[in-house]
Amino acid sequence: MSHTVLVTGGAGYIGSHACLELLRAGRDVVVIDNLSNASRVSLDRVRELAGCELVFHEADIRDRGALDGIFAAQRIDAVIHFAGLKAVGESVEQPLAYYDNNVAGTVTLLSAMRAAGVRDLVFSSSCTVYGDPAQVPVREDFPRSATNPYGRSKLIIEDMLFDLAASPLEEPWRVVLLRYFNPVGADASGRIGEDPAGIPNNLMPFVMQVAVGRRERVRVFGDDYPTPDGTGVRDYIHVTDLAVGHLAALDALAKTRGCVAVNLGTGRGYSVLDMIAAARRATGHPIPHEIVARRPGDIAATYADPAFAAEYLDWRAARDLDVMVRDHWRWQSANPTGYADASSDSRTVPR
């Protein structure tokens, strides 16, 4: 069992929930985050919810000196690597930023890990690596492809990790690649949650901002897909289930030889209209919507085959759609502007 876990990107949406579950499970947590897409308040609230401390370094994973300092300061047993940029549209406009942050950042992190003798890693991959799958549900052995620089950065990192784990000259690496489907929801406390900058790209945060009155209506991107109601179908998964999946992945590192990819999804697909209906039930608000043109690059339907996660990680998603939406709403209604109006007690470890 890994006791002290270095969490890159731990102040972000998924990372903050993972830190909370790690602390609740009795692990020690060290976070590195450059706060490019996060607030330090999220970590204050993780501490408050867990009732214990975590160590926070405000630093960039591309800063080798900072990484070496962190590995030298305490024993790290394993790394969970969330840090990265994730906006598909932005990645098309600024590909170099994505290759630098995601790919070069990961090379720097892996080099620092190797120098420190740490070779246990859980990596945040995405169902985006399946491109437009020929068949659903999606299994881990399906072909991979990318249609944008964000997706390609995940493919490159996956390949890099497969190569590293296969190298005959390397000490053995143990790597679990977690391919997330669509994370939604928030910790049941409503104290931490997703806080997107600007206009949300993803469906659930947008729907919630309509419910809370920050935006007028949801634009449904197409109702002529070959799906039951014509709108896009996705595998939405509660972020706490996802976070718990990381604990299971850490435990599975002990038996892992090389690099293993695992889907984290529920195995169920819901349409855009299903999500809007669920949000109406959970919030009591009407959630107006209009059908507009398809979003370029979108696919009709994807959802996970979760069988391998059940077998390899002994993990299954436990929270259903109504819980996902209810918890997301609790966070959004209690924090209508996210972390923007909260102040932090700023406990960064000086470098």
Q: What amino acid positions are annotated as catalytic residues?
A: 150
Check binding of 203 to ligand UD1 (CB under 6 A).
yes
Helix (H) or strand (E) holding 329: helix 321-334
Check binding of 37 to ligand UD1 (CB under 6 A).
no
Cα–Cα distance measured from residue 320 to residue 266, given in angstroms and rounded to the nearest whole number:
9
The residue from 56, 82, 98, 329 that contacts ligand NAD (CB under 6 A) is 82
Residue window 84-103: x/- pattern of binding to ligand UD1, with contact defined by CB under 6 A:
----x---------------
Check binding of 182 to ligand UD1 (CB under 6 A).
yes
Span 250-269, contacts to ligand UD1 by CB under 6 A: none
Whether residue 306 is preceded by a cis peptide bond, meaning omega within 30 degrees of 0, is no
Check binding of 177 to ligand UD1 (CB under 6 A).
no
Q: Which stretch binds ligand UD1 (CB under 6 A): 9-17, 25-33, 137-145, 213-221?
A: 213-221
Q: How far is the CB of 100 from ligand UD1 (least distance, A)?
A: 19
Cα–Cα distance measured from residue 275 to residue 322, given in angstroms and rounded to the nearest whole number:
9
Q: At what angle do helices 203-211 and 272-283 cross, to 10 degrees?
A: 40
Tokens of 90: 């932005």
Check binding of 126 to ligand UD1 (CB under 6 A).
yes
Tell me whether residue 24 or residue 219 sits nearer to ligand UD1 (CB atom): 219
Q: Which residue's entry shows tokens 């990381």?
A: 246
Tokens of 2: 């890994």
The residue from 56, 76, 91, 101 that contacts ligand NAD (CB under 6 A) is 101
Residue 176 interacts, among ligand UD1, ligand NAD, none and using kind-specific CB cut-offs from 5 to 8 Å, with none
Helix or strand or coil: residue 7? strand
Q: How far is the CB of 50 from ligand NAD (least distance, A)?
A: 18
In one-letter notation, the amino acid at residue 316 is: R
298 contacts 232 by C-beta, under 8 angstroms: yes
Span 38-67, contacts to ligand NAD by CB under 6 A: 38, 60-62
90 contacts 221 by C-beta, under 8 angstroms: no
SS3 of the chain: helix, strand, coil, percent, to 5: 40, 20, 40
Residue 149 interacts, among ligand NAD, ligand UD1, none and using kind-specific CB cut-offs from 5 to 8 Å, with none
C-alpha Rg value of the chain to the nearest Å: 19
Tokens of 54: 């975590």
Residue window 124-143: x/- pattern of binding to ligand NAD, with contact defined by CB under 6 A:
x-x-----------------
What sign has the CA pseudo-torsion 163, 248, 38, 344?
negative
Helix or strand or coil: residue 202? coil
Residues that bind ligand UD1 (CB under 6 A): 88, 126-128, 150, 182, 201-203, 206, 218-221, 232, 234, 272, 295, 297-298
Residues that bind ligand NAD (CB under 6 A): 9, 11-15, 32-38, 60-62, 82-86, 101, 105, 124, 126, 180, 182-183
